[in-house]
């Protein structure tokens, strides 16, 4: 299984390859997109994207020296105008020798194929694929690899899809790290402007998003600093939560003969917050390798380099242990935890372990 890692600056390319990345991916948000106030891919943050094709060209030359393929993310849905910009990006990226594209909008496929029939096309999880029929459909369109939203699928379902994918010769890629939302991202409108009219203050919400990113960065700081700053940030915790992670107060309604009536009230603070930020899939790499999954994707464009390097090193180390035959189904959790302690310098305390709970269909 290959490790597919993100980058968002040219400077970190070398470091990521040295850490063990087999493939790299990035987004480019050029001035054309910025003028229109939109992004060319699903990472709607300036620091999660390169800012020009010149930067991409530099990154490509570094990666090509090490024979590491680079994929360009155009994984979003576009209006007519934005679609034309995306086609321009495809043309430009093909000209400078990008190895492939990660797309969500299947209408880009003919444009990519027309420019370079050898460009690899990866279908992002933003166009969800949960069944073999969809795999066949995408294969016919010219997709080479499909990214599965592993958090949404059980191991049993991934195993079935992997065997069907082998039959029709299409590659599968799964998220292995930092994919932690309970919602299906391909169908989610929470982060779009559709949600905006319902927010009392959109700017507070944007502020909350920025603070959430800051919080992520702080979590990687040395222990004593993390502890101090973390406490301050925690006091502003109401601002941190994204719409999908907010602690809603829930009124349960039960249907009776005269319609719905109030049944009970639930506060979901702990549940929502915990669920949304702690799903870890790392140990399941053992099974993904067993099923013949082509690549494991590390999410996190916009993260600091050290975080990306650690994620890659964790995967590489774990995969080496599996390759050496040391990790078995019985002991993989133990090895996973030990690995976690070693690489991240903190104990694995994930209560939402994909391997231990979600894949086995536990209630939580």
Using the rule CB under 8 A, which residue among 52, 131, 328, 331 binds other proteins? Answer: 131
- In the complex, the smallest distance separating the C-beta of residue 350 from other proteins, rounded to whole angstroms, is 16
Q: Retrieve residue 65's tokens.
A: 């020296």
Q: Binding to other proteins by residue 201, rule CB under 8 A?
A: yes
In the region spanning residues 142 to 161, those forming contacts with other proteins, defined by CB under 8 A, are 152-154, 156-157, 160-161
Element (H, E) at 25: strand 23-26
- In the complex, the smallest distance separating the C-beta of residue 10 from other proteins, rounded to whole angstroms, is 28
Separation between Cα atoms, residue 131 and residue 157, nearest integer Å? 9
Using the rule CB under 8 A, which residue among 65, 166, 204, 228 binds other proteins? Answer: 204
Using the rule CB under 8 A, which residue among 135, 170, 282, 309 binds other proteins? Answer: 135
In degrees and rounded to multiples of 5, residue 86 shows phi and psi of -65, -40
Strands 120-123 and 2-6: unpaired
Using the rule CB under 8 A, which residue among 205, 212, 305, 348 binds other proteins? Answer: 205
In the region spanning residues 286 to 345, those forming contacts with other proteins, defined by CB under 8 A, are none
Pick from 230, 235, 236: nearest CA to 215: 230
- In the complex, the smallest distance separating the C-beta of residue 287 from other proteins, rounded to whole angstroms, is 15
How many Å is the maximal CA-CA distance in the chain? 71
Q: Binding to other proteins by residue 89, rule CB under 8 A?
A: no
Q: Retrieve residue 179's tokens.
A: 């994919």
Q: Retrieve residue 24's tokens.
A: 């790299």
Q: Smaller CB distance to other proteins: residue 85 or 298?
A: 85
Q: Binding to other proteins by residue 140, rule CB under 8 A?
A: yes
Using the rule CB under 8 A, which residue among 117, 235, 255, 324 binds other proteins? Answer: 255
- In the complex, the smallest distance separating the C-beta of residue 286 from other proteins, rounded to whole angstroms, is 20
Q: Retrieve residue 17's tokens.
A: 């390859």
Q: Binding to other proteins by residue 106, rule CB under 8 A?
A: yes
Separation between Cα atoms, residue 166 and residue 148, nearest integer Å? 15
- Give the count of alpha carbons within 13 A of 67, CB side only: 0
Task: Please say whether the beta carbons of 350 and 280 come within 8 A.
Answer: yes
Q: Binding to other proteins by residue 235, rule CB under 8 A?
A: no
Q: Binding to other proteins by residue 129, rule CB under 8 A?
A: yes
Task: Please say whether the beta carbons of 322 and 285 come within 8 A.
Answer: yes
Using CB under 8 A as the binding criterion, the count of chain residues that bind other proteins stands at: 83
CB neighbour list of residue 99: distance below 8 Å, 6 or more residues apart: 69, 70, 71, 119, 120
Q: Binding to other proteins by residue 166, rule CB under 8 A?
A: no
Q: Smaller CB distance to other proteins: residue 134 or 304?
A: 134
Using the rule CB under 8 A, which residue among 266, 306, 326, 346 binds other proteins? Answer: 266
Q: Which stretch binds other proteins (CB under 8 A): 1-9, 226-234, 250-258, 303-311?
A: 250-258
Torsion of CA 99, 104, 110, 113, to 10 degrees: 10
Q: Binding to other proteins by residue 167, rule CB under 8 A?
A: no
In the region spanning residues 18 to 77, those forming contacts with other proteins, defined by CB under 8 A, are 36-38, 76-77
Q: Binding to other proteins by residue 80, rule CB under 8 A?
A: yes
Separation between Cα atoms, residue 183 and residue 302, nearest integer Å? 21
Using the rule CB under 8 A, which residue among 128, 296, 300, 302 binds other proteins? Answer: 128
DSSP state of 280: B
């Amino acid at each position: 299984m290959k490790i597919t890692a993100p980058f968002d600056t040219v400077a970190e390319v070398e470091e990521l390859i040295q850490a063990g990345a087999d493939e790299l991916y990035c987004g480019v948000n050029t001035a054309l997109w910025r003028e229109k106030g939109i992004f060319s891919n699903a990472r709607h943050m300036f620091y999660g994207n390169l800012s020009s094709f010149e930067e991409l060209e530099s990154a490509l030359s570094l990666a090509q020296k090490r024979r590491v393929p680079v994929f360009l993310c155009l994984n979003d849905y576009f209006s007519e105008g934005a679609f034309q910009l995306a086609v321009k990006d495809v043309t430009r990226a093909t000209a400078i020798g990008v190895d492939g594209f990660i797309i969500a909008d299947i209408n880009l496929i003919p444009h990519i194929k027309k420019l370079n029939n050898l460009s690899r096309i990866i279908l992002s999880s933003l166009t969800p694929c949960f069944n073999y029929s969809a795999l066949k459909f995408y294969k016919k369109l010219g997709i080479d690899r499909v990214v599965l939203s592993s958090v949404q699928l059980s191991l049993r379902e991934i195993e079935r899809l992997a065997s069907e994918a082998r039959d029709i010769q299409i590659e599968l890629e799964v998220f292995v790290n930092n994919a932690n939302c309970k919602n299906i991202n391909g169908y989610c409108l929470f982060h779009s402007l559709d949600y905006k009219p319902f927010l009392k203050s959109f700017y507070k919400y944007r502020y909350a998003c920025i603070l959430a990113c800051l919080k992520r960065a702080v979590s990687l700081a040395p222990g004593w600093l993390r502890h101090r700053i973390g406490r301050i940030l925690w006091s502003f915790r109401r601002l941190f939560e994204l719409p999908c992670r907010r602690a809603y107060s829930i009124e349960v309604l039960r249907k009776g003969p005269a319609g719905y009536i109030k049944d009970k009230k639930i506060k979901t603070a702990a549940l929502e917050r915990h669920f949304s930020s702690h799903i870890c899939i790392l140990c399941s790499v053992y099974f993904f390798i067993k099923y013949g999954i082509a690549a494991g994707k590390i999410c996190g464009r916009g993260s600091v380099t050290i975080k990306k390097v650690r994620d890659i090193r964790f995967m590489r180390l774990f995969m080496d242990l599996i390759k050496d035959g040391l990790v078995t189904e019985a002991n993989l959790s133990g090895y996973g935890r030990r690995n976690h302690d070693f690489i991240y310098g903190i104990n694995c305390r994930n209560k939402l372990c994909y391997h231990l709970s979600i894949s086995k269909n536990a209630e939580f």
